[in-house]
Chains A and B, each alone.
Chain A
Amino acid sequence: MNEESILLRKTMGSLYTYIIIFGIYIIYNGHLTPGGGFQGGAILASVFIIHYLVTYSKTLRSATLTNLEKVIYVALVVFAIVLIFYLNPYASLSTKRVYLIIMNGLIGIKVSCGLTVVFYRFIFFESR
């Protein structure tokens, strides 16, 4: 299990695109169909886990992901508060749709960063 396998690398490398498209689709259609920010983010996080399984690379900068997660968390809270104060309660459906899509997207990016950080931290730091 220590050396890279060519078969795994080729097949999983061709699967990256479809997994990312599927995750983005689930996030983008979260307000209409089952799914949403959390589920789509978890699917996007599985891309990084496949990347670990395929290449065993140790060069992923988890500090960047951690900072990105914090920034997106602040942005999420600020966006929700601003919208509560400024959104017309009788706003049209298309406005609410834009609001839901933006919220789902932020949640999705945050969840995928969080799960990836948890996974990589578990792998590289929690020995024994």
Chain B
Amino acid sequence: MQYVILIMMVIFAIAAIQTEVLRRTIIYAGVFSLLSSFAYLLYKAPDVAIAEAVIGCTLATVIYLVAMTKYKVFRVYYKHTSTNKENIHDILESITKYTDYMSLQLDTISTKKDLHEILEDSHYDVIIIQNDTSIDVYGETSNYHFDSMIDFLNLTCRYKIDFHFVTPKKLEDNYE
């Protein structure tokens, strides 16, 4: 019985590393945690088994799943001040391609606010401001997706308009 549990633990640990989908990894890690709590029970440590079953299997899995949903929404603020109607929404199409490629969920908001108002008030991932001559893309360096998005846009886009990737400092902490 012990050997079966231990072998299954090894199998689920390898499966958690080798899967492509992140959500499956979380579930495999939860199953691994449950099996390890059962192994503790077989080694006659029921205290540790209860703690492992509650914390490792339940709380950690729920926290990982919540983190997944927070990580997947990609929110873009888009401000268009150009009089030229020609190149409108090209940048949004390429960002849609990027989010499809990374399997994210895109949330686009067209706004008329100033840049500083957006920076101070809102939860944004990327801010795009399109003028006559240039497209400014603002993002934070602490954002996980921003660097890869810069690479993706530089590789795939062919535009007459130049890009300015600006990474402003975070103005204030969100903590309380």
Chain A residues with CB under 8 Å of chain B are 1, 26, 34-36, 38-39, 42-43, 45-46, 49, 53, 115, 119, 122-123, 125, 127-128
Distance in angstroms from A108 CB to nearest chain B CB is: 12
Distance in angstroms from A115 CB to nearest chain B CB is: 7
Chain B residues with CB under 8 Å of chain A are 46-47, 49-51, 54-55, 58-59, 62-63, 66-67, 69-70, 123, 125, 140, 142-144, 174-176
Closest to A128 in B: B143
- Decide: A34 near B46, CB < 8 A? Known: A42-B55, A125-B174, A128-B125: yes
A-B CB pair tally, cutoff 8 Å: 46
Residue contact B50 to A119, C-beta cutoff 8 Å: no
Residue from the list A1, A34, A125 in contact with B50, Cβ < 8 A: A34
Residue from the list B58, B67, B125, B175 in contact with A46, Cβ < 8 A: B58
Residue contact B62 to A53, C-beta cutoff 8 Å: yes
Distance in angstroms from B21 CB to nearest chain A CB is: 17
Residue contact B54 to A46, C-beta cutoff 8 Å: yes
Closest to B52 in A: A39
Closest to B54 in A: A42
Q: Which residues of A lie under 8 Å from residue B55 when comparing CB positions? A: 42
Residue from the list B47, B63, B142 in contact with A34, Cβ < 8 A: B47
Q: Which residues of A lie under 8 Å from residue B59 when comparing CB positions? A: 42, 45-46, 49, 115, 119
Closest to B71 in A: A128
Among B51, B69, B144, find the residue whose CB has the most chain A CB atoms closer than 10 A.
B51
Closest to A26 in B: B50
* Assembled-state Cα–Cα distance A39/B67 (Å): 24
* Assembled-state Cα–Cα distance A123/B59 (Å): 13
Shortest Cβ-Cβ A-B pairs, 10 listed: A34-B46, A42-B54, A39-B50, A34-B47, A39-B51, A125-B175, A42-B55, A35-B50, A43-B54, A49-B62
Residue contact B46 to A122, C-beta cutoff 8 Å: no
Excluding A125-B174, A125-B175, 20 further A-B contacts by CB distance (< 8 Å) are A26-B50, A34-B50, A35-B47, A35-B50, A36-B47, A39-B47, A39-B50, A42-B54, A46-B59, A49-B59, A53-B62, A119-B59, A122-B63, A125-B176, A127-B70, A127-B123, A128-B70, A128-B123, A128-B142, A128-B144
* Assembled-state Cα–Cα distance A46/B57 (Å): 12
* Assembled-state Cα–Cα distance A127/B123 (Å): 8
Q: Which residues of A lie under 8 Å from residue B70 when comparing CB positions? A: 127-128
Q: Which residues of A lie under 8 Å from residue B69 when comparing CB positions? A: 1
Q: Which residues of A lie under 8 Å from residue B63 when comparing CB positions? A: 119, 122
Closest to A122 in B: B63
* Assembled-state Cα–Cα distance A67/B49 (Å): 30
Q: Which residues of A lie under 8 Å from residue B47 when comparing CB positions? A: 34-36, 39
